[in-house]
Amino acid sequence: MNFNDLGLEPELVSAVAAHGYTTPTPIQAGAIPPVLAGRDLLAGAQTGTGKTAAFVLPLLQLLGAAEGRAPRALVLAPTRELAAQILESVRVYGVNKRLRARVIFGGVGEQPQIDGLKTGCDLLIATPGRLLDLAERGFANLSEVRHFVLDEADRMLDMGFIHDIKRVIRRLPGKRQNLMFSATYTPDIRTLAARILVNPAQVEVTPPNSTVERVTQLAYRVAKDDKRHLLVHLFENGANGEGPWYQALVFTRTKHGANRLSQQLERAGIRSAAIHGNKSQAARTRALADFKAGKLAALVATEVASRGLDIRELPQVVNYELPNVPEDYVHRIGRTARAGNDGHAVSLVSADEAPLLRDIEKTMRQSVPFAPTPDFARRRFG
């Protein structure tokens, strides 16, 4: 199977080939033909499956050439990072087309976004809050939207966007194509899908477990106070004889914890930055760029800040603290092992976190092996 077989036009197939992709991923193979045929779609797919191209490619084809001023396609995404990454994919796959894509999200000045909309836009990517703000003040005209995409719908609901989503939908024309992507199918997601989608094609790919299977997981028993020493030790020595870590995404539970840990790593000589909701968009973008460029060894992130981060070939994910929700663990470690690569996930588990690990193991139907705790940290565990 190649991209030609999916019914994509040559401009798109050559852009994809130029980017180095030869074979569609399962979600692309399953979603692109029905979307090109104009059908609604319900897709069960998490980040890392190639889901972005699964809607961006057919949308680019359906939109054809630049036309009018108001956007004809709207993609809603939960976070600014994800929205920015979708725009990046549109640029990559759309290089041979003359379509105007814009992104709007909060946390940055609105004037450039307003100016962008004024000059004309075919495809608009947005987070719900800023979009509504601009729409209600008359800067974003949604009356021409013929294709509507809800990306990471489950995350949107988790983040409390349901009312915003409904308000956006009320501004769209009734006759339109709807695509909805979600990693999980909770009852809320099914209700939303039933509301929005008309006779959708359904595509399900790789349940989270198959991503998890490609991740080598390891846990350490360690006292809270020793976690930072153990983490420095792991950066310097690796966990499994793989040698020093050159790049790891480290999860903490709180914004404050992320800042503190990042400073502690810096003091230990490990280049590090923290990203979380209190950081400005510019600071987050810079940290991500420095991390991708290899200037930082550690990116310390909270759960929300990490959503939608697309870092290719991320070798290590560290759970400095375990998440309360088992699905978040699966989501976190899915940041490594993307697009077919293998990855490693290390969890630092203090005594009070043992029950969380048990819940995670139950959810994955898989146990996480413990590595021997290095001597210096073992003394104090308990």
Nearest residue (beta carbon) to ligand AMP: 52
Please identify, using beta-carbon distances, which residue of 340 and 369 lies nearer to ligand AMP.
340
What is the x/- site pattern for ligand AMP, positions 259-298, by CB under 6 A?
Answer: ----------------------------------------
- # binding residues, ligand AMP (CB under 6 A): 16
**Contact present, 179 and 35 (Cβ < 8 Å):** yes
Please identify, using beta-carbon distances, which residue of 183 and 287 lies nearer to ligand AMP.
183
What is the x/- site pattern for ligand AMP, positions 39-78, by CB under 6 A?
Answer: --------xxxxxxx-------------------------
- Least Å from the CB of residue 52 to ligand AMP: 3
- Least Å from the CB of residue 34 to ligand AMP: 18
At position 151, the amino acid (one-letter code) is: D
What is the x/- site pattern for ligand AMP, positions 3-32, by CB under 6 A?
Answer: ------------------x-xxx--x----
Please identify, using beta-carbon distances, which residue of 158 and 310 lies nearer to ligand AMP.
310
Please identify, using beta-carbon distances, which residue of 31 and 165 lies nearer to ligand AMP.
31
Give, as ranges, the residues between 296 and 355 that touch ligand AMP (CB under 6 A): 310, 312, 338-339
Sign (positive or negative) of CA dihedral 198, 88, 212, 76 = negative
- Least Å from the CB of residue 24 to ligand AMP: 5
- Least Å from the CB of residue 85 to ligand AMP: 7
Instruction: Please name which of 3, 29, 27, 1 lies closest in space to residue 15, comparing C-alpha atoms.
Output: 3
Count CB neighbours of 93 within 10 A.
24
Q: 220 forms bridges with which residues in the sheet?
A: 348
CA distance 26 to 206: 8
- The SS3 of residue 120 is coil
Please identify, using beta-carbon distances, which residue of 144 and 310 lies nearer to ligand AMP.
310
- Least Å from the CB of residue 46 to ligand AMP: 7
- Least Å from the CB of residue 86 to ligand AMP: 8
DSSP character string of 298-347: EEEE-HHHHTT---TT--EEEESS--SSHHHHHHHHTTSS-TT--EEEEE
Sign (positive or negative) of CA dihedral 44, 49, 52, 56 = negative
Please identify, using beta-carbon distances, which residue of 218 and 311 lies nearer to ligand AMP.
311
Q: Does 93 bind ligand AMP (CB under 6 A)?
A: no
Q: How far is CA 37 from the centre of its chain?
A: 27
CA distance 230 to 248: 14
- Least Å from the CB of residue 369 to ligand AMP: 27
CA distance 99 to 117: 13
- Least Å from the CB of residue 366 to ligand AMP: 22
CA distance 215 to 192: 32
Strands (E), the chain: 41-44, 73-76, 101-104, 123-126, 147-150, 177-182, 201-204, 215-221, 248-251, 272-275, 298-301, 316-319, 343-349
Residue with tokens 């991708």: 292
Report the interface residues with ligand AMP, using CB under 6 A.
Answer: 21, 23-25, 28, 47-53, 310, 312, 338-339
